[in-house]
Structure formats: structure tokens, C-alpha cells
Amino acid sequence: MIVKYGGNAMKSLELRRVVAREIAALRAHLPVVVVHGGGPVIEAELSARGVPSEFRQGLRVTSPEAMHVVEMALAKLNKELSADIGQALGLMGRDAALLVGELLLDGAGLATFGRVGRVTEVNAALLRTLLGVGLTPVVGCVAVDVQGEPLNVNADWAAGAVAGALEEGIVFLTDVDGVYRAYPDPDSLVHMLGAQEVRLGIDEGWIAGGMIPKVQAALEALSRGAPFATIASGMAPGVLTRAATGEAGTRIVP
Ligand SMILES: Nc1ncnc2c1ncn2[C@@H]1O[C@H](COP(=O)(O)OP(=O)(O)O)[C@@H](O)[C@H]1O
Ligand SMILES: CC(=O)N[C@@H](CCC(=O)OP(=O)(O)O)C(=O)O
């Protein structure tokens, strides 16, 4: 199974330990690949260095200077998360062409998002080799382009691409229990959400901000062969097993 671990599900050291325990418990039953982001850590490093960055359509417009900071921040976090999880090997998408990508272009075909990219190829053989020797791959969301330059990939997209390539299910851990029809009304949590309703939700604006790349990545993973894709809260005990069996979170369906 693929676990996408984002910035909001690692807000505190305590929460990080809870998630690490969940991942360790899950892999006693099935192989796990972790793909992580780290938006808040990136944000802190950029502001400490006075490097400006803005979000457009939920994506960080990434100058070459910002790219440098993004990669540095995520690489350090990658080592910390790998240590939290244990029996893990931390890798960036740039290592061994694990995540190969291309620049994201706007509607006019221009790279107005800067170094933001999307994944075109995943080195699934490497992930399978690591799993085969009992290591949990922990993958940071910086991909490499054909020129060997880094690309800043939204971590939900990166995780969705890995799930599609391995044809395994994926759980996106975040700070909410799933997708709400009227966020944050707790009674409006949706248990199953189809592609058509996802499009409607984005158009009508009740799926917004950071939830947009998550639902898009879930649909992309399903279309590439992942058997299930669920969005769930990293704060709920036992969440990974419950999300995998459909008892927790919002399951996205084609
Ligand atoms: N319909 C919705 N249901 C739930 N959360 C939503 C919805 N629309 C927008 N959101 C926002 O999406 C956030 C999760 O995305 P994001 O902050 O990018 O998480 P992460 O860092 O875990 O990837 C929630 O905290 C919430 O503020
Ligand atoms: C292009 C883009 O937006 N990249 C993200 C990568 C990290 C990420 O996605 O982290 P979360 O999972 O914590 O949101 C960024 O720079 O913040």
C-alpha cells in the first residue's frame, strides 16, 4: 500500500510518532511505500531565508531559488521521517530516477509555475527491490527532468503516480477525516465520492485549496491501476487499516 504523508499530518513531533507507529504496524501485514510532502517545513525555510513564493491553483510557484530551498528542506525531512519509521530507506524522487517528470505548463503552454512538475515515470523496479529486502521506501516529492534538473512536484500527485505505477492502493493522510460536502461541518463527511462529483465539487467550490490536488491525484492513481484511493485523517488511531478496508475516510471511486 502507498501512504501519502503530508505537512498537515506532521504538525507536531507527537503526531509524527503516531503516524510512524501506524505505518510500522501496517507493514507487519503488507508492504508499504511512503511518499511525503512537507508544505509547512518548506514554508518555514523559505521565510527564514526571505525567499518569496506564492500559491496558484494549490501549487507553489517555484523559482530556481525557491527550488533550492524546497529540495533542501524536503531532503532533511526525508531523513527524519525515515528515522521515525525505522527499517526504512529515505530517497528523493531524484535518486536513481525514482520519479522522472516534466515541467508543468499553463493553458498557454508556458512554464508560469516555475520549476513545478508532474511525474511521467516511476522507477517501480527500485521500489519493489527495496520492499523485497524488507525496507520501507520513504520518498520525497522532488522529481528529476530529462536534463537532470529538479522539479517540485505536489506530494499528492507524486504519491498518486507511485500508486498507479505499483498498481497498489493508496491512503492520503491529512488533517481532516476526508472530503466534506460542507467543510468543516462534521455531519457532511462523504464516505464515497465518484469522479463526476469530484468535478462538480471543484466547480462549485466545496472542494477547495489543498483538497483539490488530493482528489485529482486519487482519480489519477485509480485511472493508472490503483485498486483504491482513500483520503483520511492521520490523527485517528488505526486509520491506515481502517482506511484500507473502507471503514475510515473518503474513498474516491472512478
Ligand atoms: N471539501 C473539503 N473537505 C475537507 N477539507 C477541505 C475541503 N476543501 C478544502 N479543504 C481543506 O483541505 C485541507 C487539506 O489539504 P492540505 O492542507 O493540502 O493537506 P496536506 O498538507 O495534508 O496535504 C484541509 O485542512 C481543509 O482545510
Ligand atoms: C508544487 C507544490 O506545491 N509542491 C509542494 C510540495 C510539498 C507538498 O506537496 O507538501 P504537502 O503534502 O505537505 O502539501 C510545495 O512546494 O509545498
Q: What is the pLDDT of residues 145-193, one digit of tens each?
A: 999 999 999 999 999 999 999 999 999 999 999 999 999 999 999 999 9
SS3 173: strand
Quote the pLDDT of residue 119.
97
pLDDT at 14 over 90: no
DSSP-derived secondary structure letter, 170: E
Ligand 2: residues with CB < 6 A are 6-7, 37-39, 42, 59-60, 70, 116, 141, 152, 154-155, 210
DSSP codes joined into one string, 86-133: -SEEEEETTGGGSEEEEE---TTS--TTBTBEEEEEE-HHHHHHHHHT
Residue list, annotated binding site for substrate: 38-39, 60, 152
Closest CA to 166 of 220, 217, 127: 127
Query: What residue's CA is closest to ligand 2, atom 10?
Result: 37
Instruction: State the chain's mean pLDDT as an integer.
Output: 95
Separation of CA 176 and ligand 1 centre (Å): 7
Best of 60, 78, 92 for a ligand 2 pocket test (most atoms within 8 Å of beta carbon): 60
CA dihedral 22, 27, 32, 36 (to 10 degrees): 30
| Averaged pLDDT for residues 111-126 | 97
Contact 154 CB / ligand 1 (< 6 Å): no
**Three cell numbers written together for 39:** 508544505
Here the ipTM equals 0.98
pLDDT at 131 over 90: yes
Q: How far, in Å, are 31, 87, 205 from residue 97 at the CA level? A: 21, 22, 36
Which is higher by pLDDT, 8 or 80? 80
What confidence category does residue 236 fall into, taking pLDDT thresholds of 50, 70 and 90?
confident
Number of domains, the chain? 1
Quote the pLDDT of residue 157.
97
CATH number at residue 69: 3.40.1160.10
Nearby residues of 97 by Cβ (< 8 Å), 6 or more positions away: 121, 123, 144
Quote the pLDDT of residue 9.
84
Question: At how many degrees (to 10) do helices 195-204 and 211-223 cross?
Answer: 160
Sign of CA dihedral 46, 58, 184, 170: negative
Range of the domain at 124: 2-253
